[in-house]
Structure 1
Amino acid sequence: MLTAVDEKNCLINLLETLPASRSKQYFCPFCHSEVVFKNGSIKLPHFAHKQLKTCTLGNENESEQHLMLKKELYEWLKETESVEIEHYLPELRQTPDLLINGKVALEIQCSPLSLKRLHERTMNYRLHGFKVVWLMGRDLWLGNRLTELKKQLLCYSENHGFHYWELDLTKRVLRLQSLIHEDLRGRLFYVTHSFLFKEKPLLDCLRTPFVQQELLKMAVYPDNQLQHFIHKQLFHKSPKWLHLQSLYYQKGKNILDLDFMRPYIAPPGLNLLVPFMDNLTGSSFEQLSKIPVSYYQNFLDVFQKKKIEILYPPRFYAIMKKQK
């Protein structure tokens, strides 16, 4: 914790001032139990509960990465915005890492959390009128595979499609992974934009997916070895591929007869392997109020009429549809 209250209920923010005396008593703003000030050589100066079991706030065992990122973003934001660190919201019983202008909650997630907890926190912010933005630390960078947790942390806009935010403390960079697509092997493809810390106002960076701009695009190529890959998956009795093969058999088809010379790649949540069924996976996205069905439909319309060599954001496919 980087904040506590003293005996007079005055807030102490360790990023602004250090306690003048270790002999004073300090208390958790959330549970009001006593905390101690720690100023060692490994972590940033911080507060810790004397008895952790008395508090359910959940920020006691923050890593050095998490503490340092809160510090960096706090100092970045305060140059242009009104920002509060670890500000307790009693109506939500939550404490965002950073609260911007009293309405945007910034959550820095450096370690995995349960889908249940992610849902509870996201919905709680939404129901109380707060906008929440999740920024992921090193262990949750997007990488080459989309886990269920990462899927539930995806954002969406018409200009950038599915996108994802990352924080790199070592390089002091905020990364925006945009135009995210997934191929039939489960590999991810995306475009990366990087913003150096304090290069420009942080809120301007976070608005990037939504402001007017040139259309993004990303080249893709046919997966000429995909049929061989699926054959191997069936030979080794992969449950996923055996299930898909059974669906094709029920329709009098064989999954290995598909035209695999086309680049089978799609936005997350769209399944190109079942064109005779509902292409949507049936899953939802925690950070989206609804599944972007029109994006999927417009994408499929282009996909089914020609070989895709360039991928675009949803706005491109919407414009094409209007021009017909």
Structure 2
Amino acid sequence: MTTTASWQAPGPAPRDELAAWTTAEVVEDDLGEVPPLSRPGPAGRTHLVFGAGVNVRTHPGPEEATPAVYVHGLGGASTDWTRLAAILAPHATGHSLDLPGSGRSDPPPAGRYSPAVDARVVAGTIEQVAFGPVHLVGNSYGGIVVTHVAAGWPHLVRSLTVLAPAVPDLRLIADRGADPRLGVLLLPGTGTVAHRRLAAIPPLIRARGMGELCFGRPEVVTDQDYALAAREHAWRARLPWVFEATVGTLRGLMGGYLRPGPDSFAALAARVRVPTLVVWGTRDRLVDVRLSRRTAAAYPDARLLVLAGCGHVAQMEEPAATARGMLALWRDVDAAGEPRASADPGAPPRLVRTPVGLS
């Protein structure tokens, strides 16, 4: 049994020809060394943000450069960004955080999981750790979270990059990405069943299932890579909230799909006022690459980078190509000068807290 067996449909077919949809420029600047997938990330530091611990890993870069903040997807962690943050370190200090209930971060107060709650935590972390404004980057569920941040806290964001954001897919087609059966999780009483199913999957099987699901070319993931991921899964499985966090976050994401209005993805994206890069892989089995054009069009100032042969986690599978598109965006933003900081009455208060631990 793999992690895909109970919850994931086969997904759309590879569409490598859609790399021709790319409108983004790339640069040939020197990049840092590309580390192997199995290389552990830097040690994290735990910061108190709104009373809960948020784990942040930092790749030091030039002090004068605008820092970058990286936000992972559902079931992911700050270590998802180790490769991309490392090769971009010559250009920017990179801070990757564990969202509430993920990685080594505490669960959110009162167990409330939603993109809006996570966005508030990300905004508070930017103020405390990176001091804003930053180049903000998110993958999958994290792409929805960072869109919330850019729309609600514009003074903290200089540019936005979203990698295969988990946008709603309401098309009536058979070969869609996300499995429509996941909607059953919105029904009362289904959480316990989902927890039991997740807990029954051995860590190594879970790691291999995620590799097969998220990579366009799963053969690039080695046994050593899977062993490292399995150790992390085993460590996480001992936390009392780990499966609640996975199911709760998924419920929060899907619940947002059903709420039209100012918090819908389309409305949030329309409020983003910074240049945006949308990155997608042509072999994404979770969020269909055919959604990439309409997603990019939802942002007022966006460019699209479609990577042939890549799956759902471009920052891990194609870090160099992703980095070159991001550097082109950053260069254009820097050339345009500092954005006007606008006060936002809904922004989180400034927090001045001391890191409380290492992980």
- Work out whether the TM-score is over 0.5: no
**Structure that is richer in strand per residue:** 1
Scaled by the length of structure 1, the TM-score of the pair is 0.28
Higher RCO, Cα 8 Å, sep 6+: 2
